[in-house]
Amino acid sequence: MKLPRSGVLIIGVVIYFISSQCCGQVYQPSRFEITLKNNDNYFDVLSAEENGLIIFRATHKRGKEGYQWEIIKLDSNLVVSWRNYPYFKFEYKYTGYAYADGKFYLLFKDAKSFNKNLQLFVIDLKDENWHQYTIENLFVIDLTHFEVTSNAAILGGYYNLKPVVIHYDLFEQKSKILPSVYNNRTELVQIKINDDDTYSILVNERTKDKRLTLGIKSYSPNGKIIINSSLEPEGDKNIIFGHSATTSSQIQLLAGTYSNRRSNYSRGIFIARIKENGEQNINYYNYADLKNFFSYMKAKRENRVKARINRKKIKGKKLKFNYRLLVHEIIQLEEYYIMLGEAFYPKYSSMSSRTGSVYNGEFQSRSPFYQRNPYNHYGNMSLEGYRYTHAVVIGFDNNGKLLWDNSFEINDVLSQSLDQYVNVSVEEDKIVLLYVHDNTIRSKIIKGTEVIEGKSFDNIKLKFQDDVVNNKTAELNGLEKWYGDKFFAYGVQRIKNLRDTGVKLNRKVFFINKLVYQ
C-alpha cells in the first residue's frame, strides 16, 4: 500500500545477496537534485522499476482549474525524461499512489460528492496519456490500502469500524464489494498482489474461543473468492500479525508473530503452510530458539541473555521474551523463503513537561502496528514515536522449517510512523543489510547465521566536489529497492559550498542517489 508520507525521518533497510567473498562497497554512479525553497513541499518518490523513477508533489500554485501538481519522470540514470504540471480540482483530496505495468496511479477522494467518490488518474509513462476514472464509493470508507493489478484497483479500508475491500474493474468501470471480508471481529492487515493478478487479503480475526488469529482470503483477477481459511493456533497461543506468500502449487505460506492468549506482546515467530483444501500446519519458534535474534545487543548484554537462556534449557524451561516485531514481507526464492521484520518499541513523553521527560513503554492494542489512541494506558503520556532496535532476517523452507536467522542493529532511529522500511533483492548466497540515517548509508553483510562483514558506513555522495552538508541531522532520508541489484537513496539536504564556481553558497535540495552494492 502506498499512502502519502509526512516529512519525517524515513529509513530504508535493504537486503540482497552478492557473490563475492571480498568486502563490499556502495557505489553511487548518479545523482539528481532539485533546489527547494523553504516553504516548498517535499517530493514523494516511487520506483517504476526498469522504467526509472517518478517524483511528485502538490505545489502552492493555484488556478481556475484547481491546485497544481508537479510530476517528474526520471530514467534509470536519473536524467529527466519529462515534466508534467497538471491541475486537480480543489475538492479532490490526495489519498494514495501506485505503479504497475508502466502506469502511474494517483488516487483522490472527492470531498463534494455525497458518498466521497474516489477519482483515479492513470498516466502512461511512455506517451504521457491520461485517463480518469470515477470510483463510486458504495460506502464512505476510511481508506487504508490501495493496490493495482493490470485490470483492477483494489481499495481497502473501514466502514463503521468494519473492514471493507472494493474491487474496481478498470475496463468495465464497475465496483464491487469483495465477499468474506466485512466482519465485526476483523481488522485489515495486508493486500498482496500476485504475479498472475490473483491477490490475497489477510485480516486479524477472532477464533470461537476469542483468541486472535489470521484469516486469509484469495481472489481471482476478477474478484471471485478462491480460498477462505483461518489459521488455527495451538494451545494457548494468539497469532497477532503476519504476511503471506503464494507458492507455484497454490499453497499459501504465512509468517509472522505469535503471543500467549492474554498478551499482545509477541513471544516468537510462526511459519504456517496452508493447502488449497484448507489443510494446514504451523511451526512456532520462540525468540530464545533463534541463534542471532539478540546479536543487536552489545556483547556483554547478549552473553548475559544467552547464559540465562541456557540455564533455563538445562532445567527444561524456556525464557520468555516480549517484543514488538513488525513483519514486512515474505520473499520467495527458488529453494526457500526469507522473512523480514523489524523490532521496535513506542517512546512516550509527558504532556505536562516542556523538558520532555520520557517513558519508554509499550502500548496495548489489538495489533502491534496500529493504535487508535496515542494516550492509551498512560494518562497524559504522549506518543513521541517508535524507536527501532534491530532488523530480523530468517530463512525457511517450503514446509515452514526454520533454516537460519540473523539480525542487524538499527541505531538512533526514531520514526513517527510504522511504515514498511525493509526491501529485498536476491543474488546467490550472501545478504547485505542497509539502511540510511542522517545522510549515512549503514551496511552489514551476512551469510545465513554468519556475519561476513560487520557494520560499515558510507556518506551520501554529493553533487559537487566541495559540497558540505550543512546540518548532519537529516530532515528527510530514505533508501529503497529499485530494480535488479539497484537501489535509490533520497531525502532533503542543506548544503554549503565555499569554493566551486557557479554554485550557490547555501542551497536546500531534494536529492536522489542511485546505489549499487558490489
422-425 vs 13-16, strand pairing mode: parallel
Q: What average pLDDT score do residues 433-451 get?
A: 87
> Mind listing the pLDDT tens digit for each residue in 219-275?
999 999 988 889 999 888 999 999 988 665 567 889 999 999 888 789 999 999 888
Residue written as cell 487479503? 201
Q: What is the 8-class DSSP label of residue 24?
A: P
Distance CA 108, CA 143 (A): 11
CB atoms within 10 A of CB 464: 12
Map out the domains of the chain with their CATH numbers: 13-517 (2.140.10)
Q: 303 by DSSP, 3-state: which?
A: helix
Name the amino acid, one letter, at 399.
N
Instruction: Give the pLDDT confidence score for residue 424 in this predicted structure.
Output: 67
Asked if the model's pLDDT at residue 304 lies above 80, the reply is yes
Instruction: Give the pLDDT confidence score for residue 487 in this predicted structure.
Output: 92
Name the amino acid, one letter, at 115.
N
> Mind listing the pLDDT tens digit for each residue in 51-85?
999 999 999 999 999 999 999 999 999 999 999 99
Mean pLDDT over the full length of the chain? 84
Do you know the residue count of the chain? Answer: 518
CB atoms within 10 A of CB 381: 21
Instruction: Give the pLDDT confidence score for residue 15 in this predicted structure.
Output: 44
Q: Which residues pair with 405 in a beta bridge?
A: 394
Distance CA 30, CA 155 (A): 36
> Mind listing the pLDDT tens digit for each residue in 2-59?
555 444 444 444 444 443 444 567 899 999 999 999 999 999 999 999 999 999 999 9
**Inter-residue long-range contacts of 150-155, CB under 8 Å, 24+ positions, other chains counted:** 150/100, 150/101, 150/197, 151/197, 151/221, 152/197, 152/221, 152/222, 152/223, 153/105, 153/107, 153/120, 154/191, 154/193, 154/199, 155/118
**367/100: higher pLDDT:** 100
E strands present in 351-475: 358-360, 381-396, 402-409, 414-415, 422-425, 431-437, 440-447, 450-459, 467-469
**Which of 76, 28, 16, 31 is CA-nearest to residue 50?**
76
Alpha helix ranges (H) inside 108-196: none
Asked if the model's pLDDT at residue 465 lies above 50, the reply is yes
Q: 272 by DSSP, 3-state: which?
A: strand
Written in H, E and C, the secondary structure of 230-249 is: ECCCCCCEEEEEEEEEECCC
> Would you state the cell numbers that stand for residue 234, as one nine-digit string?
495451538
Which DSSP helix (H) or strand (E) runs through 258? strand 252-260
Q: 88 by DSSP, 3-state: which?
A: strand
Q: 479 with 436: CB under 8 angstroms?
A: yes
Instruction: Give the pLDDT confidence score for residue 223 in this predicted structure.
Output: 93
